[in-house]
Amino acid sequence: MALPQAKQTITQERLAGLSLPQGGKWASAARTDALARVQAAGLPSARDEYWKFTNPISLTSAEPDLAAVFDPQETPIFGDLDRLKIVFVDGVFDAEASDDLSLDGVEITRLSEAAQADIHWAKDLYGALESNGQVPVQRPLAALNTAFATDGVLIRATGKVSKPISLIYLHNSESSDAILHHCVKVEKGADVTVIESGPAAARFNKVMEVDIADGAAFHHVRAQGRDHERRAVTHTFARLGEESTFKSFTLTANGVMTRNECVIELTGDNAIAHVAGAAVGDGDFHHDDTVFITHDALNCESRQVFKKVLRNGATGVFQGKILVKEGAQKTDGYQISQSLLLDGDSQFLAKPELEIYADDVACSHGSTSGAIDEEALFYLQSRGVSKDDAQDLLVLAFLAEALEEIEDETIADDLLGRLQNWLARRRG
């Protein structure tokens, strides 16, 4: 079926300025297939069902909107954490700023190098989970990434990795348009933590594909930077084997438009997937979390916990779905999305969904939006707490359920500090 004219135009204009990167036979085939997916689906528009709350025009336009380069005045996040640092500047790997990529229990290769080599696991993974994730909902911006990404890292964990792998994104050009694609293969029984931080670019399109084998664990923490004018879309695709674990947490502070999509398939019995996020936004901030979790095995557990604090007309979006396939008995699926509106101009838009084809499950979802509890505020003030301090305490208490999903206390403390800084700036 032919695409609507508006979709055709947007797609053609975006693709006109791009060319498929050079690579080996397998990479060229994966990129060509991904380009075909983009052309067949067309880039998203606000008329699409899962984009009706978020206008994607700034992500699909031929050129990115300009974004002033952000000069942070505070210490870089995770600065005291022992980690292996991999730095990208405006979407390009910076070897001088990065650590040596050697670490026991893990193999790390740049996408640009792997695309020229014959790495069997990379050939099997690159674009595969993204392609699977196009059904039942098309995700053409993810396919666009697979087709045109020239940089990123391929991570293969073969044992328990001793320290986190830290992907650091820096933004030095007000017109940068970065496309990064990461692949993570966690072999049987292995355990790895990946941390992401920074604003990346004026416009940022990132995909991460994560394949977790039986008995393996993948932990993911992301701190999306305070660069207020950036636009970003990210996709995380994960496939879980038997008794495997996937846990991801994202903190987003400002950013004029951010959409984080997470697509998870639990394909092995007794697998666990937790996805959580906290977002704080001010003014023209627009933040969208879209999560799809599919249960396709026995006795699996999933949790979605998302909290947003919004002020001065900011907008938060949550779209979350739990799909339980026939035969996926003993499923435990939990989903909660909540927003705290600090004024009457901000808004929270939610679309929680359950689709269940098994009869022995425990699944629940809930979504609420409200203002500061005036009784609690009065109580704290009556105990000598200033109004500003009282409100900050209530905001942090509201976000606590999401923050509790972070298992590493050092990382959790860093993220809590960022939230406290955001609250302090709000007073000014």
pLDDT of residue 120: 84
Number of helices (H) and strands (E), helices first, in the chain? 10, 19
Strand partners, 261: 235, 290
Longest dimension (CA), the chain: 70
Given a cut of 80, whether residue 229 has pLDDT beyond it is no
Given a cut of 70, whether residue 407 has pLDDT beyond it is yes
Given a cut of 90, whether residue 209 has pLDDT beyond it is yes
Band of residue 428 on the pLDDT scale cut at 50, 70, 90: low
More confident position, 181 or 118: 181
Band of residue 26 on the pLDDT scale cut at 50, 70, 90: very high
Which of 44-53, 193-202, 210-219 is the least confident region? Answer: 193-202
**For the chain, percent of residues with pLDDT exceeding 70:** 97
How much is the average pLDDT of 377-398? 96
SS3 382: helix
Which of 166-175, 187-196, 363-372 is the least confident region? Answer: 166-175
Chain segment 51-100, per-residue pLDDT in tens:
999 999 999 999 999 888 866 556 788 988 999 999 999 999 999 999 99
Residue 187 has a CB neighbour count (10 Å cut-off) of: 19
pLDDT of residue 425: 82
What is the residue-averaged pLDDT of the chain? 95
Are 202 and 228 in contact by the 8 Å Cβ rule? The answer is: no
Residues 6+ apart with CB under 8 A from 64: 58, 175, 176, 177, 201, 202, 203, 231
Given a cut of 90, whether residue 405 has pLDDT beyond it is yes
pTM of the model: 0.96
pLDDT of residue 1: 65
pLDDT of residue 4: 87
SS3 14: helix
Chain segment 287-307, per-residue pLDDT in tens:
999 999 999 999 999 999 999
Are 201 and 229 in contact by the 8 Å Cβ rule? The answer is: no
Are 190 and 218 in contact by the 8 Å Cβ rule? The answer is: no
Given a cut of 80, whether residue 241 has pLDDT beyond it is yes
How much is the average pLDDT of 182-191? 98
More confident position, 67 or 410: 410
Given a cut of 60, whether residue 36 has pLDDT beyond it is yes
